[in-house]
């Protein structure tokens, strides 16, 4: 069980590490259920999914079959870019509820702020979507609202108009791709940054400096990267399919990187970027059974 916790601005407390169910290999439901069940056995209690991932059903099954009370879990899902708008978002949320079948979601996130680079209506659509999510909070369907892949100029249009402030923003973030501008913005506005792809899709693990820190602390390169993010106040959303890796990703609270190490890792040149960007390289709105994106 993860003992380290993070307190959000809505007063709720969540684990310092979450488990992601993004399904890039398009695994079958039974395999996904088995992976998530194993993550639950390893001690993960915060789970991240999305309508786009095609894993809401598997996640719900794994939680129901775990024998652990639903209240022990914190589950976040996301509305995809082709589901946004006032009524569309509400309908998408209840489809997600039906697929997961776990009674409620804790957090609901807007997955991406824009549909395409030439999307001129994104501000109005984001706000309509957000207002629908605020209504879901008022009606007791969710505890809080989050965002994903929102940069400061996307966040501004929400923060200027919202009645319920977002508690988190999920971004690609890892050594070699820290997005310092949005990280500082979120910290200033009391928005928790969650990191998707916290290991840079594995591309930063062979960096010589990361490897030397791993040797020094008798840890894996992945553990060094996760520890770095945690010390920066960033919540990693990890993925793994083996029990060994799942457990390793939790064993990051028994060592501390010093100030010099934090500075050097924080100043690494760009490494491991996915190639996706909320203004310039936006995932296409394909059918939910098609190619997946974070």
7, with CB counted inside 10 A (0-12, 13-18, 19+), is: exposed
Please check whether residue 216 lies inside any domain of the structure.
no
pLDDT greater than 90 at residue 283: no
pLDDT greater than 50 at residue 119: yes
Per-residue model confidence (pLDDT) at position 103: 96
Please check whether residue 119 lies inside any domain of the structure.
yes
Per-residue model confidence (pLDDT) at position 284: 77
pLDDT greater than 80 at residue 292: no
Q: Which residues are catalytic?
A: 53
Please check whether residue 247 lies inside any domain of the structure.
no
Residue range(s) defining the domain that contains residue 127: 5-204+233-241
pLDDT tens column, 136-191 = 999 999 999 999 999 999 999 999 999 999 999 999 999 999 999 999 999 999 99
pLDDT tens column, 205-252 = 999 999 999 999 999 999 999 999 999 999 999 999 999 999 999 999
Please check whether residue 221 lies inside any domain of the structure.
no
Which residue has tokens 């999307």? 119
CB distance 48 to 148 below 8 Å: no
pTM of the entire predicted model = 0.95
d(CA 126, CA 155): 10
pLDDT greater than 50 at residue 23: yes
d(CA 213, CA 209): 6
**Summary mean pLDDT of the chain:** 94
d(CA 267, CA 81): 33
More confidently predicted of 284 and 262: 262
Phi-psi region of 190 (alpha: psi -120 to 50; beta: other; left: phi over 0): left
Per-residue model confidence (pLDDT) at position 3: 79
pLDDT tens column, 58-102 = 999 999 999 999 999 999 999 999 999 999 999 999 999 999 999
CATH number at residue 58: 3.20.20.100
pLDDT greater than 90 at residue 26: no
Per-residue model confidence (pLDDT) at position 287: 41
CB distance 15 to 2 below 8 Å: yes
More confidently predicted of 238 and 24: 238
219: which DSSP letter? -
Please check whether residue 174 lies inside any domain of the structure.
yes
281: which DSSP letter? B
d(CA 106, CA 146): 10
Please check whether residue 252 lies inside any domain of the structure.
no
Q: Specify the number of domains making up the chain.
A: 1
pLDDT greater than 60 at residue 290: no
Please check whether residue 261 lies inside any domain of the structure.
no
CB distance 84 to 93 below 8 Å: no
Please check whether residue 29 lies inside any domain of the structure.
yes
Per-residue model confidence (pLDDT) at position 280: 93
pLDDT greater than 50 at residue 255: yes
Per-residue model confidence (pLDDT) at position 78: 98
Strands 13-15 and 192-196: unpaired
d(CA 294, CA 292): 7
Q: Where are the alpha helices (DSSP H) in the chain?
A: 29-42, 56-65, 86-100, 122-138, 152-159, 180-188, 208-217, 221-231, 243-248, 259-266
């Amino acid at each position: 069980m993860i003992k380290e916790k993070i307190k959000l601005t809505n007063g709720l407390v969540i684990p310092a590490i979450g488990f992601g169910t993004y399904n890039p290999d398009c695994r079958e439901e039974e395999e996904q259920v088995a992976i998530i069940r194993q993550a639950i056995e390893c001690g993960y209690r915060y789970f991240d999914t999305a309508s786009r991932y095609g894993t809401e059903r598997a996640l719900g099954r794994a939680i129901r079959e775990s024998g652990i009370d639903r209240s022990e879990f914190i589950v976040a899902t996301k509305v995809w870019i082709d589901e946004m708008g006032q009524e569309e978002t509400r309908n998408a949320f209840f489809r997600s509820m039906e697929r997961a079948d776990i009674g409620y979601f804790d957090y609901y996130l807007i997955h991406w702020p824009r549909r395409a680079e030439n999307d001129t209506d994104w501000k109005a659509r984001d706000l309509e979507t957000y207002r629908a999510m605020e209504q879901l909070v008022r009606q007791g369907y969710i505890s809080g609202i989050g965002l994903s892949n929102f940069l400061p100029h996307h966040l501004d249009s929400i923060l200027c108009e919202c009645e319920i402030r977002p508690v988190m923003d999920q971004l690609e973030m890892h050594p070699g791709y820290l997005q310092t501008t949005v990280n500082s913005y979120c910290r200033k506005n009391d928005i928790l940054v969650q990191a998707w792809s916290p290991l840079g899709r594995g591309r930063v693990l062979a960096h010589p400096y990361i490897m030397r820190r791993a040797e020094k602390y008798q840890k894996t390169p992945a553990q060094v990267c996760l520890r770095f993010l945690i010390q920066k106040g960033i919540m990693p959303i990890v993925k793994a399919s083996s029990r060994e890796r799942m457990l390793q990703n939790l064993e990051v609270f028994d060592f501390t990187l010093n100030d010099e190490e934090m500075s050097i890792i924080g100043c690494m040149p760009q490494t491991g970027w996915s190639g996706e960007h909320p203004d310039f390289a936006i995932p296409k709105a394909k059918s939910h059974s098609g190619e997946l994106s974070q």
